[in-house]
Structure formats: structure tokens, C-alpha cells
Amino acid sequence: MSGLLRIGEELSSGAVRLVTDMADEAERLLNETTLRIAITGLSRSGKTVFITSLIANLLAMGRGRQTLPALSALLERQGTVLRGVRLEPAGTQALDWFDAADKIRDLAGAQPHWPPRTSDLASASLTLELSRSGPMRLLGSRRVRLDLLDYPGEWLLDLPLLDQDFSQWSAATLALLRAEPRAAVAGEFLDFVAALDPTAVADEAVARRGYRLYLTLLEQARDRFGLRWLQPGRFLRPGPRGESPMMWFFPLPGDGPAPSGSLRDLLARRFVAYRDDMRQNFFDPWFARFDRQVVLVDVLGALWAGQGAFEDTRHAVAQIAAAYDARSRSRWLGLSTLKRVGFVASKADHVPAAQRPALESLFSAMMAMPGEDRRTTTHRAIAALRCTEDAVHDGLPVVLGVPLGEERRRPFRPGHIPSAPPPPGDPFWSRPFFELPALRPPLIDPDGRDGLPHLGMDTLLAWLLEDAL
């Protein structure tokens, strides 16, 4: 009798376990959605602050603060209630953990400062728990998981390299170096390259000297002219693994296969090793199959740096967006997984409200590219962390902000913001180089209780996540 009871008990336990597992899986399939959001942008475009603000504001909203009014309004219109937002635990990932709380403490400290340049990959995941309405309520709460990735913006420039070989890259790069404004800093390197015989036997000292000269030229182009299209990206930000021999190459002219053992052969092999390393360790694992994309662009910095920097930024962003689009397409059907792409002009708080429409219009015209109608895109001007207040000074609109390192707020006048990119030769481009002033973050709660003050983050998020919430 007891044996029969034991068999019955085991049978019931097994059946219950089976159903429990099935129910858990069914519940996950019904209620869980994961969105991979690519936060894309060149260096200093504000990716880290954008992600920090996104996390801080969503967490504060989950705690009952009205930090993202447009998103709240969207949820209300859809009859959805946000039941909570939580940061997912780090799990077993090999990547750095994006510590938003630490970054908020940096911004809110006694000596507030902006997060340092990102030097490696870091990721974070947020889960929004949303209750359904109507009869669908029976299905239970939905969970929308947002996967976010932060990385050095410079590395993104290597994305277009994946489809090039050494000859193509060298030809394109040398052509750029011979044109203004790069030509002003590329003289020494171009002279060095002109003196070389590409078919000569490879010499390590020559290769390393060429690499050093090329690196110096990239640094000067970045610092003196504010240029952004500077390949390969890891030359300027090598990351935690530092500099390695595969990086000791530079563009060298020549077509066809290089003679074995020649300098060009050595450089081409290093180029291929570098490209494959970026593909295997960076792009393939982390840059495939995104569902949403935010492309951050420091438009104001480029605009005030001059025509060369402006065109350079436009070119870089267009190339990156195209490379992203290509990587997000399925191999066989050519369908894109990227449902929405938001092009964002960051640091819009440096411009008073009266001039922001002009900034958005300028940005739209700057980023307009053929083929955009294939996916849903938007162009917006936002500030992930608003450091200024609007005011009027001498009859003109200005913003008030505290320059970094100072204590008192001063008016910043952005001057004339054209609503379309000025044509080449326009007097607008004859202005001297002006560097966007670094402003001190506003006074914020170091615990992120109230989120981070922003401009337009809510409308951007509402648009980006509209169909997923």
C-alpha cells in the first residue's frame, strides 16, 4: 500500500514539475520582450551621459517621480500602467557593468565633473514592468527589457572598415589626407609615405615610425580641427588591452596583391588582423541585431568647429548609420531588425528655446540621406542632462550656465544658428574655431532620487518605445 502511495506521490510530483516548467516558459514567451537599443555616437557626443540619464529617469519614474512626462502620457493613452522599473543584475557577462549610480555621484559630487571618456565596453539592462488593460489583463504583467551598451565612440569608426581591404582603405584615407583640412597636419606623414617603396622588404622600425606619424596626425586632426572621421578608431583609444603589434600599420598606396615579405604585405596583414580582431571581439558579439538605434551627434561642436569638421561629422555619421543598417539586415531576406532610428543632436541645452527649432531643422538637413524612408526615423535636439536655464541678455536669447571649474552662472550666447547647413563659401564658415564650453552639471540629488533634469529625453523615449509599450 505504501509503495503504491509513493508511486502516486512521485507521479504527481513529476506531473506538477512538468506543468510548472511549461507554465513558466509559456509565461516568459507571453510576457517578456527584449529590446536591444544601440546608443551610437562618435566620441564626446554624450553616449555615457545619455545612458546614465535614461537609466536614472526611468528608475525614478518607476519610483513614482514624473521625470519623463511624455512617456507617462503615452502609457496613460495606451491604458498601460508602469508597475516598476528595475536594473537587471549583472549576471555572468564578461563586459564591464555600466554603473549609473556611480556616474550620478560623479555628476553630483562636491566637485562635479562629467564622466571620463569611455575606454571599454560596458552594458546595462533595465526591465520595465507594465500591466495590461482590458481582457488582456488576464495574461498578467508584461516585462520589457531594455539592453543598453556603452563603448568608446572612436571604435565605432571601424565599423565601415569591416567591408574594406587594405588597398581600398589606404586609397580612401590618403585621398582624405591630401584634402583640407587634414592636409594642414598631414604633410610630414605624406612626405614619409611618398619616400617609401611599398615593394621593399618589410622593416619593423619603418612600420613603427609610419604608425607613430600617422597616430600623431590623427591626434592633431582631432584636437586642432575637431575632426571625427579618424580611422582606425582604436588608434586613438586602444582600450584596456592597450597597443599591440597588429596596430602598427598605416595607409600605404598600392593595388593588387603585395609581394610576400614586403612592407606593404606586412601592413596589409596587420590591417587584416586588426579588422578581424575588431570583428570578432567587438562588432560580432555586441553589434548584431539591434531593435532600436539612437545616433547621438554633437552638432553644435561640429558647427562651431568650422566647415571641415561639420562635413567630417556628417560623413562619419552617414557612414556609421549605413554600416549599422547593413549589419541589422537578415542575410537572406534583407529585412532590417532596426525598427526605429532616432538621430539626436545632443547638448541642445547650450541653445535657448527660441533657437532650438532652428537647431533641429539644421540637424535634419545635415542628416538627410537617401534610403531613409526604409525605416522609421526622427531627428531631434535633446539634452540628456540639462545644465542651463533660458534667459534674455541685451535683448537676445541666451542660456545661463556655470562654466566647469567656476561657481557663478554666466550667459552663453550661441549666436546665429542657421536652419540649414550653410553652403560652402558662406561667410558663416569664416568664423574662427569655437569650442563648445564645458558647463558644470546642475545641482542634483546624488542618490538619483529625482532622476536627471533633461530636455526632450521623454519625447524621444516615447517615440522610440511607442510600439513596444
Partner 1 sequence: MTPQTPGWADEPAAPAAPRTATATPPPDLGPALLDADFGGPIEHGVPAVIDLPLEKPPSWFGALGLLAGAGAALVLGTFGLGLALMLRDLFAASPVLGWLGAALGAGAGGAVLLALGREWRALRRLKALDQLARDLRTTPGTVAPPAALLQWAQDVGKRVPEAVPAAAQMLRATTLEEALGLMNTALLPVLDARVKALGWQSARQVFVVTAILPSPAMDAAAMSLLGLRLMRQVAVLHGLRPGTAMLWRLLRRLTVSAGLTAGADLVAEAGAEQVVHGLASKVVGGAAGATIAARRMLRLAGATAAACRPGDDSRR
Identify residues 349-368 at the interface with partner 1 (CB under 8 A): 354-355
Q: Which is nearer to partner 1, 28 or 374 (CB)?
A: 28
Write down the H helix ranges in 179-245: 183-194, 204-225, 233-236
Build a one-symbol-per-residue string for 448-467: x at contacts with partner 1 by CB under 8 A, - elsewhere.
xxxx-x--------------
Q: How are beta strands 142-150 and 389-393 bridged, if at all?
A: unpaired
# binding residues, partner 1 (CB under 8 A): 86
Work out how close the CB of 403 gets to partner 1 at its nearest, in angstroms, rounded to a whole number. Answer: 7
Of the pair 97, 286, the CB lying nearest partner 1 is at: 97
Strand partners for 344: 296, 380
Among 49, 107, 252, 398, binds partner 1 (CB under 8 A): 398
Residue 63 lies near partner 1 (rule: CB under 8 A): yes
CB atoms within 10 A of CB 316: 22
Q: Does the protein bind partner 1 through residue 108 (CB under 8 A)?
A: no
What string marks each residue from 292 to 311 as x (binds partner 1 by CB under 8 A) or -? ------------x-------
Helix (H) or strand (E) holding 463: helix 457-465
The contact mask relative to partner 1 for 132-161 (x = CB under 8 A, - = no) is: x----xxxxx--------------------
Classify strands 81-87 and 122-131 as parallel, antiparallel or unpaired.
antiparallel
Q: Is 420 in the site for partner 1 (CB under 8 A)?
A: no
CB atoms within 10 A of CB 315: 13
Q: Closer to partner 1 by CB, 86 or 375: give it.
A: 86
Q: Are 54 and 148 in contact (CB under 8 A)?
A: yes
Pick the piece of the chain touching partner 1 (CB under 8 A) from 151-159, 269-277, 331-339, 425-433.
Answer: 425-433
Residue 125 has φ and ψ, to the nearest 5°, of -130, 135
Min dist. Cβ of residue 464 to partner 1 (A): 20
Residue 78: CB atoms within 10 Å: 13
Q: Decide if residue 93 touches partner 1 (CB under 8 A).
A: no
Q: Which is nearer to partner 1, 331 or 408 (CB)?
A: 408
**Nearest Cα to 376, choosing from 325, 452, 442?**
325
**Number of C-beta neighbours around residue 457 at 10 A:** 27
